[in-house]
Structure 1
């Protein structure tokens, strides 16, 4: 009986099944993950491996924050530290473990630090806070014979998520008017900004932003003249398309506020009176 329970218990720990306390925690941001990563690397370089492992394995210590933690594996893929579940993971060999998309993430971490001391690895993993499989970005660094890592969850909205938010946004503009709706769209803590999903609204006559959930400071600034990293006049194209149609779709490249990387994006836009209302999603 005990033997049969080993695999489920280890699997649950490995994929970070959420506890009640974890569910109450906040997500770590890319900046916070980078800060924790840099601090952990410095600590391990300044101390013996044993002292570093003890600090990283302390779930109430300074190296476990929000949904972020430090882990360390050796070149054979054996865990020596993990703030997620040290009691289950330390000593476990995960070299051939794959992520939710079938990618050998730990092997990739080890291989990537053989050619350079530091690398960034992206994969699909279960977030122990949301209990959902999400894209994850992990910084890894070679310290002696070990690879140290700290990651953050990078939730990625789907096309359905984007279209659903757009429908709600359009309904709000029709109900409350553009000015009142714009205040809701610009509320970074409101219902129209979620992970990498947000609403933008442009006045089709002036070409200026009426709302921009990713950066409300852009409100009342020129949108029509904006170009993406490839020189694409994205907003001008959106406005042109909506002159002859109520809905349109435009693809371009734009900075993802979650990953802080320029990525391909597809936005759905809808004309409501004199306003262009749009929501987009990032594409891997």
Structure 2
């Protein structure tokens, strides 16, 4: 009995597309990452609650407390405070060097004006969260980070925490940078997308480019062995031809999202993934985020 055509194709390019066994220990480790992210979010909210009560009780006298090691520093979590004009007032972490400066136009490692997003969100809704990338002293990398913020009078309190899961918003930010790079450099940009040093491979985030007519993979920063090969018949671990679905979405709608399962190049585990795809000229540009273990 002949194997299905999509399995033969996958074997030729070195990727078995049949469902891959995920050991219980691997699944548990991935689940633990998700739990750790949830725990960090809960701890950040609790610290923000305490900081708000302290600021309401003490007024601006509380700002000095936020800049000292102790009550408002919990491991990697700390409080920082800005006013509604973007002036940096206090910090219990490495950002203490920003005190006294206006940080309205401060950008993250991708050029995202996350401080302006915090200011705009606090003025409009009073509270919220912003996702960005920032240097993590524990890893030495620019890791995904979530800042949860709250407006208290004319002050804005913020607590940020690192998360092991890059979000779809960060993936879309990377994708739009790639589109801009392509519009500036043309096909020469593909080499940057494939390079570890090109600025388009960040942990488990990467850009991929596929021809809409020939289905050739022109760039894939996470799995460079695919470059130059046809990808249309590739199937995920459930047999879903997700590349073909991406091509249909790009052709029919110009932009959209596709969900599938795929091997995470960072963890080397099969996980659920959600990718945003855009049609640019006669190419499909895409980037996605892993959302959790595949069961």
Q: TM-score band (shorter)?
A: 0.3 to 0.5
TM-score by length of 2: 0.46
